[in-house]
Amino acid sequence: MNLIGNLIWIVFGGFFIFLEYLIGGIVLCLTIVGIPFGIQLFKLAIASLVPFGTVVTNAPSSTGCLYTLMNILWIVFGGIWVALTHFLFGLLLCLTVIGIPFGRQHFKLMGLAFTPFGKTIN
């Protein structure tokens, strides 16, 4: 079921989301200050390419002040808009019965896009 869901996801827009996150990550990694944020965008790119079957969990050592500070910077400088976009697409997809599984994946990506520091993808 995960393979079919991921194939449908990729065909109907998941690949474009992946490319946007990938290009954003490359651009952020061009600067030294942006490297940690670019790495988080690479994490989002992987999760957005194949969201079915991936599990987002908190990292075992994600209780430090650095993760909190980086998440606050992430939210202030654009993470809120990325999370709201996933939230909007999740709501729109959940209006139809067929779109509910895809809407749930957008909600999972929303949580990762809101606070990506200190999370792992399995």
Q: What is the largest CA-CA distance in the chain?
A: 45
Q: What is the token pair recorded at 51? A: 């969201």
CA distance 55 to 51: 8
Report pLDDT digits (tens) over 57-93. 988 776 678 888 999 999 999 999 999 999 999 999 9
Domain containing 6 equals 2-121
CA distance 2 to 14: 14
Q: Report how many domains make up the chain.
A: 1
Determine the distance from the C-alpha atom of residue 119 to the mean position of all C-alpha atoms in its chain, rounded to a whole number.
11
Check residue 65 and give its pLDDT: 86
- Region 94-116: what's the mean pLDDT? 94
Under 8 Å between Cβ of 111 and 56: yes
Check residue 29 and give its pLDDT: 96
Bridge-partner residues for 56, per DSSP?
A: 121
Q: Is the pTM of this model over 0.85?
A: yes
